[in-house]
Amino acid sequence: MLKKTFKPVRERSAISPIIATLLLILIAIAAGTVLYAYVMGFIGGTTQNPGVVQSTITIESSCVSSTGSGCNGVGYYIVIRNLGSNTISSSGTPKIQIYFTDSSTSATGVITCTISSAISPGSSITCQNSLAGVLSPTSGDTIQIKVVMPDGGSASGTTKSL
């Protein structure tokens, strides 16, 4: 009888159970991180001001002067109207932040305006002052204006400097 010699069957080697467990844990952590980033991106914009009603405002009129006094004798004036249904409080001396950007030179400036009395729905407040040391526009420059109320309500607009 012929005797056949067989090579022994070589056992396939796999990754160890410890490494397999670590890989599964890493995959689960990565999936959780991706899910967290997705959910936070989805709801992140809705929780910026929890529990506080933001005012609804508009910039009714504005003027920016290149000479420093071309807007009724001042460097700028902005009329802000409360379009919302809530009164904007003046308690605690709240300040309105006014951001200016000169589109021609990309120069920026920030001015604060104090709310001296409450702004009831439908009424307005005028902020006016000098722009000295804040912004130096030249005549005809386009000035972008952003007004931010103490509660986070905001309005934007543009005007040409005089």
Which 3-state string (H, E, C) describes the chain? CCCCCCCCCCCCCCCCHHHHHHHHHHHHHHHHHHHHHHHHHHHHHHHCCCCCCCCCEEEEEEEECCCCCCECCECEEEEEEECCCCCECCCCCCEEEEEEEECCCCCEEEEEEECCCCECCCCEEEEEECCCCCCCCCCCCEEEEEEECCCCCEEEEEEEEC
Question: pTM for this one?
Answer: 0.60
Q: Average per-residue pLDDT in the chain?
A: 77
Contact 153, 65 (CB under 8 A): no
Q: How confident is the model at residue 23 (pLDDT cuts 50, 70, 90)?
A: very high
Q: How confident is the model at residue 29 (pLDDT cuts 50, 70, 90)?
A: very high
**Which of the two residues, 11 and 155, has the higher pLDDT score?**
155
Q: Which of 11-20, 27-36, 52-61, 136-145 has the highest mean pLDDT?
A: 27-36
Distances (CA, A) of 158 to 8, 25, 39, 49, 148: 85, 54, 36, 26, 15
Is the torsion defined by CA of 15, 16, 18, 20 positive or negative?
Answer: positive
